[in-house]
Structure 1
Amino acid sequence: MSGRPEILFPLFGALTKLEGIGPKSAQILEGVGVVKPLDVLMTLPLSGVDRHRRASIREVAAPSVATVEVTVGDHHPPRTRGRPYRVQVEDAETSFQLVFFHARGDYLQKLLPTGQKRIVSGKVEIFDGIAQIVHPDHVLPVAEAEEIPPFEPVYPLHAGITQKAMWKATRSALGLMPDLPEWIDPALKTREGWPDWADAMRNVHSPQATSDLSPHAPARERLAYDELMAHQLTLALARAATRKAKGVASHATGALSKKVLASLPYKPTGAQQRAFAEIAADLATPLRMNRLLQGDVGSGKTLVALMALLDVVEAGGQGVMMAPTEILARQHMDGLRPLADSAGVVLEILTGRDKGAARAAKLKALADGTINILVGTHAVFQKDIAFKDLRLAIIDEQHRFGVSQRMELGSKGHAVDVLVMTATPIPRSLALAQYGDMDVSVLDEKPPGRTPVQTALVSSSRLDEVVAKLRHAVAEGRQAYWVCPLVEESEVVDMTAAEERFKRLRASLGEGVVGLVHGQMPHAEKDAAMARFVAGETKVLVATTVIEVGVNVPNASIMMIEHADRFGLAQLHQLRGRVGRGAAASSCLLIYQPPLSESGRRRLEILRETEDGFRISEEDLAMRGAGDVIGTAQSGIPRFRIADLERQAGQMAVAQSDARALLNDDPKLETARGKAARTLLWLMEQDKAIRLISVG
């Protein structure tokens, strides 16, 4: 892949080559990321103005735009400073005024000579019973009427760039477009009725009606698909590169996992069995596994993870399960050890706490293979830790774990299979955008034995009642979380909010009943406070969102969320998932500060209606947009310029299967369609992908 194909050079030239863009405009545009003709083409119109010719302004209802031919009448210059300059004109049916502020008389005499015909276009308004157009958008001699498009696109603007300049620049950029070879699968293109790339570009910049501006107009759909396809091709190339790294095939009869299942009081759900079958099939191939196990709160991911680990152990290898914090690592350990014992498998934990001789003994047992499964925090990355035959790494909660750390794990074994578990249900379109290089298994059923959580909305004015009820519940031996929001992202203020609430609850519930955890505490203190709550010594835990992920206290059956209106839907759903883990009936109180905004109320009501994390995430996407749902800054979700992940979600899945199929048939992109796809990657500036092909 030597470099950008010559056919694309004009689109990557200087902005100043475009009509209407001088050095000053170019500088303004570069400030907002428009640096070449291609970027001008990728800036699509937001809306449009109907400028079809009318016989008279009477054909439109004011205030709206009219384009009419007029005969120019008398000029009325202002008598005093600051008054407007008025020009009387007449169309086929009525007379009206053109109004100009701060205008020069000599200029207006030239623009609108009395007695002559002109085409004017602008917004008709009624002022004191008189129809007028203030500062018409267009005034042209009849011979030049063609210059006004019947339907004029309106571009998103930046200070100092006019619609006229954008119109000229886009026309001039359209003139630079090459005819590119087709990269879309011909059957798909025919089925959808999509135009060629260059035609699609011409269409979106010359809409004929409002319907052409919809994300579902064929030309817009096609350009959105190109963007998604380029993104999915990049991910598919990354996936192919990972899989090329040879893995180890781990064949198992399932004897160990059968022992564990026999010791359980219930059967795994259909979703668990399906996910486990997908993982087992991956483990049995010599290709590296790179799979995401996506499951809602309490859908039983841990059991699926254990079955995968047991298969690897049965095949003679070792497995590691990584958690983001020591508390979570211990929790996995407590949950898994009795199950591992029932299969006769050695399970150990390694965290930063292990020191001296105890640590040395564990390291030796890992190196000689005595330990089959290791549970730990990122402490298992330290240089002195060696496994005998590490084959599977399971990572809990992806977003604390970068790709580079996944790579590092790979270096611990020869070619470790990787399974990432996340408890954050993500809408399918976003999962594909973010984890498109991975294969995805979804757990969408709840195992038996979990009680539904009753969710209620309470106004903060009733806080005293809430505290009284809490006192009653604590007296009955129940445990509760009380979550305070982050305020203004400032950790100091956040700490104060939690500390204030802690002091007040301690005053009304008594010493030793209430515990506190927040982000500013030293690790050891936080761990100790959590441990006291887990052990049931403290009954109420006041916390900031540090408890969002994974903590399992089956006795805790009440979740209070203060200022619930400040949290995102996904976050509220995660927090609520901390209760309802035991046999006791659980409740979640969403305490809000009235008055609630329309969207704030909608968010809280969705939570009251459903506990289905996937439905909640789809609602979240519809309400907040893709960037917000995952917090784009750290999410690795690309910002698309044309594609709209909320409205064109279905296209992402098509693009993914198309990209994978293309690479499957043509791994080096050497066929005619493969070469066209390379052009697409250059066009969309997917340099990473281009490097991956050139390496391959």
Structure 2
Amino acid sequence: MRPDILFPLFAPVTSLPGIGPRFAKLFAKLTGEKVVDLCWHRPSGIVDRRLSPKLADAPENAIVTLTVVVGRHRKPASPRLPWKVRCSDETGTIDLVFFNAKEDYLAKTLPEGETRVVSGRVERYGSELQMIHPDHIVKPGEIDRLLRIEPTYPLTAGLTPKLVGRAVQAAVERAPALFEWLDPAFQSRRGWAGWQESLRRLHAPQSLDDLSPEQPERARLAYDELLANQIALALVRLQQKRRTGRRLAGDGSLRGRLVAALPYRLTASQAQAIEEIAGDMAAPAPMVRLLQGDVGSGKTVVALLAMAIAAEAGAQAALLAPTEILARQHFATIDPLARAAGLEIALLTGRDRGKARTGILTGLAEGRLRLAVGTHALLQEDVEFKDLGLAVVDEQHRFGVHQRLLLAEKGQSPDVLVMTATPIPRTLMMTAYGDLETSRLTEKPAGRRPIDTRTLPLERLEEVVGGVERAIRQGARVYWICPLVQESELVDLANAEARAADLKRRLGPRIGLVHGQQKAAERDAAMAGFAAGEIDLLVATTVVEVGVDVPAATVMVIEHAERFGLAQLHQLRGRIGRSDKPSTCLLLYQAPLGETARARLKIMRETDDGFRIAEEDLRLRGAGELLGTRQSGMPEFRLADLAVHGELLAAARDDAKLILDRDPDLAGPRGKALRTLLYLFERDAVVKTLRSG
């Protein structure tokens, strides 16, 4: 149960003054639905209201706080015109201007003849001073409340700066004093205040420097968030170690036949990864291991050999892929090898119906089918395994931990192998996969050649089309990547549909089109035509980013390459260079390039090392943007910035290990404070797994 002391923070935002159901929907979009979400909504700027001149000295276009006497209200002749209130001090006059004004509100707020303090931006209109919609209007006794520096916050359409600022301040005032969960010596060394005081200081910046992620109050709160993350992951790992799995150790017979059927020798890192996986599977605790391999490094073969270990031990194995294209491709790679080793393998996707589907389900339930490859269809309730020993999850960042667990629930504590072709920087590895052991494939299979990567301005498009035409005549197959599916009024970027039509007109009919808005069957047909050589050039959006394998493709053109992230460019480029033929990637950019875009394209020219590219991407873009989507399975940090707080993350990881070594059930005094921390950052699920409740 969440501690009572946190209840005010986990109340809905409607419990704050001035937020009704209509505004609650907008706050849910901007910050979240609970009061605590507003506490994590950081200031993005400041407004200094301390300048309080006489009217004659008020600088134009500056924010000032003025003490004035309210004069005559000038009601407009038409509702479309502004309402003006003439005010003055002993040095001059100013008009306060209101559009769509309510007469009774203005009469009450600005009564004629009385003194008021107004704060806002002063402008000159002709020879007159004016202030349009003052930010604040108060009585003289409240002037001290205004003469200060005020934080400003990110907004969304429909919410005003005043409303958001007031709501955040009300949320921060609700923050209770909590028992300290930090180690006293560590806290003292860092010079950090307590949690409550740090939160208050975060929302009361006195200068632009105070908005820096390195400021003590932000660093303290970032550390709290990272510590909650690391303890949660360490607890998950502890639970896995406590679970009793079973030893899966084969005799090597199937693996021997599979390796003999391969058209090449395993790389050193493939052999090492298989050894690590076999060691985990032979241990009594269930394996949870991450297999990281750059594009084309041979992860599918490693997964198949791991699946063979399960089959040798008399159990079943399943591989879960995020898309049908990827599932079919894994099946195409695995099926001939499995057959050569005498293993039958089934493919299950959402498209399978009727007798074929029933046959597969029966085979899995009876245990006749040892191996299965599939999409989310494998997670459906009616899919039962007789004895699932190994679950392989591909492209983990496309699935949350939830789906990983769903597949694991299909067996009795099966081993889990998670694969990704998205190289993940070390700091992100620690935050997202701290519960996993890791194997890395660092080499490309023998015979692969480096890709010649060049950057060209879009003005040279005609030359590029001519070059592509010559390449096709010499037998090349070409990817042409566009950032948009259709024309957009909002951005002037190349769109796939128009580009495909244009290239068809110039190069002939053997042009295909693939994008995310097509029906799956249409998309698969275009991909199959390209793979079979019936299509010479495939125009596509980033749907081809992950896992599409056409070894004959040797040319890639990426339009508006400056609009893509580094990791995405690297993934796209990885679709070529998958054979022993030379390959070329052309990155077309719209000049002039910004600093970040230029750095990104420079790195792409310099290296094809996915791990170096991932580290650079984190440095250039920050963790929040790096994986593109909230559904990435990566934790979303509100206070920590991994590009800045990497050293704090390492400290939090060490701290979490030390804490759980001493007090694995968080039962001691510091342990109880840490439980509150886990609830504060909504890591409730792991608290429930603790044996002492």
Same fold (TM over 0.5): yes
Give the one of 19, 23, 32 matched to 2:27.
32
Partner of 1:425: 423
Question: Are 1:555 and 2:552 an aligned pair?
Answer: yes
Match of 2:344, SS state, is strand
Match of 2:228, SS state, is helix
Q: By how many angstroms is 1:589 displaced?
A: 2.1
Question: Are 1:676 and 2:680 an aligned pair?
Answer: no
**Whole-Å Cα distance in 2 between the matches of residues 165 and 522 of structure 1?**
44
Partner of 2:267: 268
Deviations 1:105-160 (A, max 9, x none): 99575327xxxxxx997768899999999998789999877545654434556899
| 1:155/1:469 CA distance change after superposition, 3 Å | closer
**Whole-Å Cα distance in 1 between the matches of residues 52 and 502 of structure 2?**
71
Give the one of 109, 112, 115 matched to 1:111.
115
Partner of 2:347: 351
Match of 1:552, SS state, is coil
**Kept in 1: contact 2:55–2:89 (CA 8 A):** no
**Whole-Å Cα distance in 1 between the matches of residues 525 and 464 of structure 2?**
27
Partner of 1:115: none
**Whole-Å Cα distance in 2 between the matches of residues 26 and 377 of structure 1?**
39
**Whole-Å Cα distance in 2 between the matches of residues 380 and 298 of structure 1?**
25
Q: 473-482 vs 26-35, which deviates more? A: 26-35
**Whole-Å Cα distance in 1 between the matches of residues 164 and 367 of structure 2?**
69
Partner of 1:194: 192
Counterpart of 1:32, as a letter, is F
**Whole-Å Cα distance in 2 between the matches of residues 520 and 207 of structure 1?**
46
| 1:392/1:4 CA distance change after superposition, 3 Å | closer
Partner of 1:589: 586
Q: By how many angstroms is 1:197 displaced?
A: 0.9
Q: By how many angstroms is 1:219 displaced?
A: 1.0
Give the one of 595, 609, 617 matched to 1:612.
609
**Alignment length (residue pairs):** 667
Question: Are 1:466 and 2:467 an aligned pair?
Answer: no
Q: Percentage identity across aligned positions?
A: 46
Question: Are 1:577 and 2:581 an aligned pair?
Answer: no
Counterpart of 2:470, as a letter, is H
**Whole-Å Cα distance in 2 between the matches of residues 61 and 274 of structure 1?**
70
Q: 470-479 vs 628-637, which deviates more? A: 628-637
**Whole-Å Cα distance in 1 between the matches of residues 212 and 122 of structure 2?**
26
Partner of 1:479: 477
Match of 2:114, SS state, is helix
Match of 1:573, SS state, is helix
**Kept in 2: contact 1:26–1:35 (CA 8 A):** no
Q: 209-218 vs 39-48, which deviates more? A: 39-48
Q: By how many angstroms is 1:578 displaced?
A: 0.9
**Whole-Å Cα distance in 2 between the matches of residues 630 and 456 of structure 1?**
25
**Kept in 1: contact 2:486–2:498 (CA 8 A):** no
Partner of 1:46: 44
**Whole-Å Cα distance in 1 between the matches of residues 191 and 647 of structure 2?**
16
Runs of 5+ unmatched residues, structure 1: 90-94, 113-118, 491-495
Q: By how many angstroms is 1:695 displaced?
A: 8.7
Q: By how many angstroms is 1:305 displaced?
A: 2.9
Q: By how many angstroms is 1:372 displaced?
A: 6.6
Match of 1:195, SS state, is coil
Partner of 2:223: 225
Partner of 1:493: none
Question: Are 1:206 and 2:211 an aligned pair?
Answer: no
Q: By how many angstroms is 1:558 displaced?
A: 0.8
Question: Are 1:180 and 2:184 an aligned pair?
Answer: no
Match of 1:682, SS state, is helix
Counterpart of 1:470, as a letter, is V
**Kept in 2: contact 1:25–1:161 (CA 8 A):** no
Q: By how many angstroms is 1:586 displaced?
A: 0.7
Deviations 1:487-509 (A, max 9, x none): 2599xxxxx96566556545554
**Kept in 2: contact 1:565–1:596 (CA 8 A):** yes
Partner of 1:291: 289
Partner of 1:87: 88
| 1:337/1:32 CA distance change after superposition, 3 Å | closer
Counterpart of 1:681, as a letter, is L
What does residue range 507-586 of structure 1 map to in structure 2 within 5 Å?
A: 508-509=506-507, 513-515=510-512, 517=514, 527=524, 529-536=526-533, 538-564=535-561, 567-586=564-583
| 1:122/1:518 CA distance change after superposition, 3 Å | closer
| 1:650/1:301 CA distance change after superposition, 3 Å | farther
**Kept in 2: contact 1:247–1:415 (CA 8 A):** yes
**Kept in 1: contact 2:624–2:637 (CA 8 A):** no
Q: By how many angstroms is 1:556 displaced?
A: 1.8
**Kept in 2: contact 1:122–1:136 (CA 8 A):** yes
Q: By how many angstroms is 1:622 displaced?
A: 5.5
Match of 2:454, SS state, is strand
Counterpart of 1:87, as a letter, is S
Q: By how many angstroms is 1:676 displaced?
A: 0.7
| 1:59/1:646 CA distance change after superposition, 3 Å | farther
**Whole-Å Cα distance in 1 between the matches of residues 562 and 172 of structure 2?**
47
**Kept in 2: contact 1:111–1:139 (CA 8 A):** no
**Whole-Å Cα distance in 1 between the matches of residues 341 and 381 of structure 2?**
26
**Whole-Å Cα distance in 2 between the matches of residues 242 and 106 of structure 1?**
66
Q: By how many angstroms is 1:307 displaced?
A: 4.8
Question: Are 1:416 and 2:414 an aligned pair?
Answer: yes
**Whole-Å Cα distance in 1 between the matches of residues 136 and 482 of structure 2?**
57
Deviations 1:1-48 (A, max 9, x none): xx3323334545687987xx35x6797467414777645544443333
**Whole-Å Cα distance in 2 between the matches of residues 473 and 482 of structure 1?**
13
**Kept in 2: contact 1:559–1:579 (CA 8 A):** yes
**Kept in 1: contact 2:557–2:586 (CA 8 A):** yes
Match of 2:584, SS state, is strand
Q: 622-631 vs 178-187, which deviates more? A: 622-631
Counterpart of 2:463, as a letter, is E
Counterpart of 2:303, as a letter, is A
Q: By how many angstroms is 1:298 displaced?
A: 2.2
Partner of 2:664: 667
| 1:401/1:678 CA distance change after superposition, 3 Å | closer
Match of 2:449, SS state, is coil
Deviations 1:323-361 (A, max 9, x none): 4566655654665578779xx944433225899899979
What does residue range 644-655 of structure 1 map to in structure 2 within 5 Å?
A: 644-655=641-652
**Kept in 2: contact 1:96–1:130 (CA 8 A):** no
Counterpart of 1:282, as a letter, is D
Counterpart of 1:648, as a letter, is H
| 1:98/1:534 CA distance change after superposition, 3 Å | closer
Counterpart of 1:348, as a letter, is E
Runs of 5+ unmatched residues, structure 2: 77-82, 99-105, 489-493
Q: 30-39 vs 376-385, which deviates more? A: 376-385
| 1:28/1:319 CA distance change after superposition, 3 Å | closer
Counterpart of 2:344, as a letter, is E
**Whole-Å Cα distance in 2 between the matches of residues 400 and 65 of structure 1?**
47
**Kept in 2: contact 1:296–1:425 (CA 8 A):** yes
**Whole-Å Cα distance in 1 between the matches of residues 318 and 307 of structure 2?**
8
Match of 1:560, SS state, is strand
Q: CA RMSD in A?
A: 5.2
**Whole-Å Cα distance in 1 between the matches of residues 4 and 360 of structure 2?**
62
Match of 2:689, SS state, is helix
Q: By how many angstroms is 1:670 displaced?
A: 1.1
| 1:629/1:336 CA distance change after superposition, 3 Å | same
**Whole-Å Cα distance in 2 between the matches of residues 384 and 9 of structure 1?**
40
**Whole-Å Cα distance in 2 between the matches of residues 16 and 435 of structure 1?**
36
| 1:315/1:172 CA distance change after superposition, 3 Å | closer
Q: By how many angstroms is 1:577 displaced?
A: 0.5
Q: By how many angstroms is 1:220 displaced?
A: 1.3
Partner of 1:116: none
**Whole-Å Cα distance in 1 between the matches of residues 440 and 363 of structure 2?**
37
